[in-house]
Amino acid sequence: MFAVHLMAFYFTKLKEDQIKKVDRFLYHMRLSDETLLDIMARFQAEMEKGLGKDTNPTASVKMLPTFVRAIPDGSEKGEFLSLDLGGSKFRVLKVQVSEEGKRNVQMESQFYPTPNEIIRGNGSELFEYVVDCLADFMKTKDLKHKKFPLGLTFSFPCRQTKLEEDMDVDILALVNDTVGTMMTCAYDDPYCEVGVIIGTGTNACYMEDMSNIDLVEGDEGRMCINTEWGAFGDDGALEDIRTDFDRELDLGSLNPGKQLFEKMISGLYLGELVRLILLKMARDGLLFGGKKSSALLTKGKIETRHVAAMEKYKEGLANTREILTDLGLEPSEADCIAAQHVCTIVSFRSANLCAAALAAILTRLRENKKLVRLRTTVGMDGTLYKIHPQYPKRLHKVVRKLVPNCDVRFLLSESGSTKGAAMVTAVASRVQAQRKQIDKVLALFQLKREHLVSVQNKMRTELEYGLKKKTHPLATVKMLPTYVCGMPDGTEKGKFLALDLGGTNFRVLLVKIRSGRRSVRMYNKIFAIPLEIMQGTGEELFDHIVQCIADFLDYMGLKGAQLPLGFTFSFPCRQTSIDKGTLIEWTKGFKATDCEGEDVVDMLREAIKRRNEFDLDIVAVVNDTVGTMMTCGHEDPNCEIGLIAGTGSNMCYMEEMRNIELVEENEGKMCINTEWGGFGDNGCIDDIRTQYDKEVDEGSLNPGKQRYEKMTSGMYLGEIVRQILIDLTKQGLLFRGQISERLRTRGIFETKFLSQIESDRLALLQVRGILQQLGLDSTCEDSIVVKEVCGAVSRRAAQLCGAGLAAIVEKRRENQGLEHLRITVGVDGTLYKLHPHFSRILQETVKELAPRCDVSFLLSEDGSGKGAALITAVAKRLQQPRKEN
């Protein structure tokens, strides 16, 4: 009993002593957490250097773009060929990827030898050989009748310029083995965005944001970067941690000075490092009684599989004795313990170094995504990682220690690289097919010049129809006389009340105009109009309006003041004088009953009477386009057009009286409110309307009406986008084919989101954030597609608006018999003002379609309010002499 204890004590003591001895001897190979954090930081800097355009040429870590932009989403299907050209073998593989999300992969493969002279020969010989093998494979597997997409794994560093390079096979995806590993794992786990190989060599790849990749054009989405991290330290960055053993090993290698990081890590070198250490220890008399064997002196005699065997949990010590004995040594128990510990230190250092670099990548991913915690998966492959008994555990533990804010899952890739090449090919072919479908949808929104010219011409026709007595009743563009005949001349002055009704809000304003300096002061209050009032009864609506006016007068201390009032009422009204306007029909979001066919000024007067608290002198009823034109005309006498691109779309302009058949007078000019939103209601632009426009129309309050407006204005653009997104999702091209409840909800996609999403300053991640807020869980690729959809819809809107405007300026030019026309357009509306591209595209379109007109655009500062006051002032001015007469 005592003897047993004594033995155990003796053994424990022996072990401790040996371990201490080796620990001391290899002190330099044992890396502290601090050192690992330091290496991690250095690798982060290396990645940055490799990605930068100017720094890449001198960077040792090359960060090669792979042109692999998407990971599998499970919808891949079909048959693919793949070739794996690795260090020692060459494999041809046929992979069948199943359909219906079963994530099932079947493979048939065949190995071919890779003759050294071919590997070392020139590129074209290699490719000829590859093609021969491929032909043989296709013949033996009876695949000659088909054309397959093909992927090629190539585990040597190589610069790719394009994923698909033609080689007489359909598609050729050239894939690095790390990428293959990542892709294979990503097929099973969509969180996988890193691939790491720890085998003969070591390397890693990960998905990087395109905006960070200087070497490739484009900023959208992500691309897989093959880091080629094995070369880390080739510029001397790791000299402080390299040991004499590393230097000795490097000098004896095929590529001295190269792949220095790899030489401390990978399977090709670990055994040799152990050999060099054991040899030195023997020389120093620390092992084998100072004796060496010729095998121990021979390069390559200890391989990494030996290291793995020596470190085995139970048989390790016995294995060590056997291995050392096979090397012609006569190891004591103490020697075996020491040798085993050497192996542990060497392989542990390897895991530590890998962990530090991997931690740097994970941190980069987390920072790219601006996340506090990152959940991600790393696809792993490589023989060292797979066969070494302790390696994976150690690696995982250190990574988790170095990046505590990442939840990392490690996933072993099955038959990694080759299957991965097929996956890359499958994804490329899926992406290509999807791209075609998406392009088909977007193409519906891409108007050619001839389309725009035709819109311009048709608009011109409708403008003329509206002006003529005979055709006016049937015209879709109503061309309503406004009885606004004079532009401000700068002599206007006084205090006015203005009302602005036409969008989502109602405003009451007090406007003070001072003559001479053309200065205007305004005070206003905004009141919400609840939906139930917008769509309730007319009496309720006007009572609400009067209530708001009362509030405002109270608020301004103006109770009892008898101010002239201008009423901006931005719906189509038939006017017979400046203070009479019969609502023809509601547009935009309004639907109050008993108003259509009624005079809005009368309705307002009656509501004031019902309230019986104050009286107002209603001088003018004004359309917002007219107010806008007037406001801008106050600054720029050349302004003879008013344009609104807000909730709705409309335009007004100054027309010669003689052309306005509905008004008797023939002298001077009058402003015409075109109400062009109704353009197309006779079907004349149905050739360019899409199914999505029709869906938006059918879901609106006024189906069949305002077709042009529904393609161009703020109230509808978001809805068009939503309809397209639903369709693309149905086709499986977005949101993993899942139509969420949110996406089904009318109105969730507001036009302001188009502005945000299309902003050039916005990174894709932010687009994703916006979509997330909308309850749309998007991938990176989804965000790109959504952005494209928004762009297509808003671009078309701006172009159509531009074509309409081109029609009017050309008309003005011809009517005045001018070779060249200079004219200013006063513009208002949030779509025009806040969308990042709308105004530019609109202006470009006008320029292109009306080259003989020099059109300036002047933004109106609160046209509806100021304009109403100015019109009221002008009307007052024109009234005065008549009264005096």
List the one residue from 572, 633, 714, 791 that touches ligand ADP (CB under 6 A): 714
Binding mask of the shown chain, residues 278 to 297, with x at each position contacting ligand ADP by CB under 6 A: --------------------
Is 502 a residue that touches ligand ADP (CB under 6 A)?
yes
Residue type, 26: L
**Which residues here bind Mg ion, judged by CB under 5 A?**
503, 624, 646, 864
CA distance 463 to 477: 6
Decide: is 35 part of the binding site for ligand ADP (CB under 6 A). no
826 binds ligand ADP (CB under 6 A): no
CA distance 717 to 688: 15
Report CA-CA distances (Å) from 276 to 234, 280, 330, 871.
Answer: 21, 6, 18, 96
What is the nearest approach in angstroms of Mg ion to the Cβ of residue 652?
Answer: 13
Nearer to ligand ADP, 60 or 647 (CB): 647
C-beta separation of 553 from 525 below 8 A:
no
Q: Residue 755 interacts with ligand ADP (CB under 6 A)?
A: yes
Binding partner at 834 among ligand ADP, Mg ion, none, C-beta below 5 to 8 Å by kind: ligand ADP
Question: Going by C-beta distance under 8 Å and a sequence separation of 6 or more, which residues neighbour residue 425?
Answer: 80, 81, 82, 149, 150, 151, 171, 173
- Which of the listed partners (Mg ion, ligand ADP, none) does 633 bind, with a CB threshold of 5 to 8 Å by partner kind? none
Does 529 participate in binding ligand ADP (rule CB under 6 A)?
no
- As measured in angstroms, the least distance from the Cβ of 677 to Mg ion is 13
Which of 282/622 has CB closer to Mg ion?
622
Task: Identify which of 509, 523, 514 has the alpha carbon closest to the alpha carbon of residue 490.
Answer: 514
Nearest CB to ligand ADP, comparing residues 581 and 646: 646
Q: Does 413 bind ligand ADP (CB under 6 A)?
A: no
CB 96 within 8 A of CB 79: yes
Applying CB under 6 A, the span of 105-113, 411-419, 499-507, 701-709 interacting with ligand ADP comes to: 499-507
Q: Nearest distance from residue 872's CB to Mg ion, in Å?
A: 17
| Binder of residue 316, out of Mg ion, ligand ADP, none (CB less than 5 to 8 A by kind) | none
CA dihedral sign, ordered 776, 777, 778, 783: positive
Based on CB atoms, which residue is closest to Mg ion, 230 or 627? 627
The amino acid at 183: M
Give 781's Cβ-side CA count (13 Å radius).
23
Q: In whole angstroms, what is the distance from residue 868 CA to residue 865 CA?
A: 5
Q: Closest separation between CB of residue 101 and ligand ADP, Å?
A: 38
Nearer to ligand ADP, 661 or 750 (CB): 750
Query: Minimum distance from CB of 763 to ligand ADP (Å)?
Result: 18
Helix (H) or strand (E) holding 558: none
Residue 658 β-bridge partners: none
Whole-angstrom distance, CA of residue 802 vs CA of residue 641: 13
SS3 279: helix
Q: Following DSSP, what letter does each residue of 411-444 receive, concatenated?
A: EEPTTHHHHHHHHHHHHHHHHHHHHHHHHHHHHT
In whole angstroms, the minimum distance from the beta carbon of 49 to ligand ADP comes to 39
Pick between residue 266 and residue 864 the one whose CB is nearest to ligand ADP.
Answer: 864
Does position 751 bind ligand ADP by CB under 6 A? Answer: yes
**Least separation in angstroms between CB 170 and ligand ADP:** 44
Closest CA to 578 of 670, 499, 652, 651: 670
Asked if 362 and 374 touch (Cβ cutoff 8 Å), the reply is yes
Closest distance of CB 731 from Mg ion, Å: 37
Of 54-62, 201-209, 730-738, 827-835, the window that binds ligand ADP (rule: CB under 6 A) is: 827-835
- The full DSSP string for 447-500 is --HHHHHHHHHHHHHHHHHHHSTTTGGG-SS--EE--------S---EEEEEEE
Find which of ligand ADP, Mg ion, none residue 831 binds, CB within 5 to 8 Å per kind. Answer: ligand ADP
Exposure class string for 66-76: b at 16+ Cβ within 10 A, else e: bbbbbbbbbbb
- Helices assigned H by DSSP within 287-332: 304-310, 316-326
- The reply to whether 830 sits near ligand ADP by the rule CB under 6 A is yes
**Rounded to an integer, what distance in angstroms lies between the CA atom of residue 268 and that of residue 255?**
13
Measured over the CA atoms of residue 547, residue 552, residue 555 and residue 560, the dihedral's sign is negative
Pairing of strands 149-154, 78-85: parallel
Rule CB under 6 A: choose which of 91, 507, 707, 835 binds ligand ADP: 835
What token pair was written down for 817? 């018999």
Look at the block and give the residue holding tokens 């103006």.
Answer: 558
787 contributes a contact to ligand ADP by CB under 6 A: no
Would you count residue 504 as binding ligand ADP (CB under 6 A)?
yes
In the bound state with ligand ADP, the residue whose beta carbon lies nearer, of 660 and 720, is 720
Q: Compare residues 229 and 571 and give the one whose CB is closer to ligand ADP.
A: 571
In the complex, minimum distance from the CB of residue 525 to ligand ADP, in angstroms, rounded to a whole number: 16
Instruction: Output the smallest distance, CB 458 to ligand ADP, in A.
Output: 25
- Which of ligand ADP, Mg ion, none does residue 751 bind (CB under 5 to 8 Å by kind)? ligand ADP
Helix (H, G, I), strand (E, B) or coil at 360: helix
**394 vs 588 by CB, closer to Mg ion:** 588
CA pair distance 862, 585, nearest whole angstrom: 25
Longest dimension (CA), the chain: 136
Q: Which of ligand ADP, Mg ion, none does 879 bind, CB closer than 5 to 8 A by kind?
A: none
* 3 state SS of 225: strand
Tell me if 829 contacts ligand ADP by CB under 6 A.
yes
Only one of the segments 246-254, 386-394, 501-509, 604-612 lies at the binding site for ligand ADP (rule: CB under 6 A); that segment is 501-509
Is residue 752 involved in binding ligand ADP (CB under 6 A)? yes
Pick between residue 763 and residue 859 the one whose CB is nearest to ligand ADP. 859
Check binding of 834 to ligand ADP (CB under 6 A).
Answer: yes
- Beta carbon nearer to ligand ADP, 484 or 831: 831
Choices 264-272, 392-400, 784-792, 831-839; region in contact with ligand ADP by CB under 6 A: 831-839
Q: Does 646 bind ligand ADP (CB under 6 A)?
A: yes
Which one, of 336, 338, 71, lies nearest residue 192 by Cα? Answer: 71
The residues assigned a catalytic role are 507, 570, 624
Q: How far apart are the first and last CA of the chain?
A: 135
Task: Find the part of the chain contacting ligand ADP (CB under 6 A) among 106-114, 189-197, 446-454, 824-832.
Answer: 824-832
Partnered with residue 655 across adjacent β-strands are 670
Q: How many Cα neighbours within 13 Å face the side chain of 738? A: 11
**Total site size for ligand ADP, rule CB under 6 A:** 16
Minimum CB separation from Mg ion for residue 827, in Å?
11
CB atoms within 10 A of CB 322: 16
Choose, by CB under 6 A, the member of 75, 647, 706, 839 that binds ligand ADP: 647
Residue type, 354: C
Which residue has its beta carbon closest to ligand ADP? 503
Pick 493 or 837: Cβ nearer ligand ADP: 837
- Residue 621 CB, shortest distance to ligand ADP, in Å, is 16
Q: Which residue has the tokens 């070494």?
A: 388
Interaction with ligand ADP in 320-339: which residues (CB under 6 A)? none
Buried b (16+ CB within 10 A) or exposed e, 391-404: bbebbbebbeebbe
Residue 568 binds to ligand ADP (criterion: CB under 6 A): no
Site for ligand ADP contains 503 (CB under 6 A): yes
* Residues found near ligand ADP in the complex (CB under 6 A): 502-504, 646-648, 714-715, 751-752, 755, 829-831, 834-835
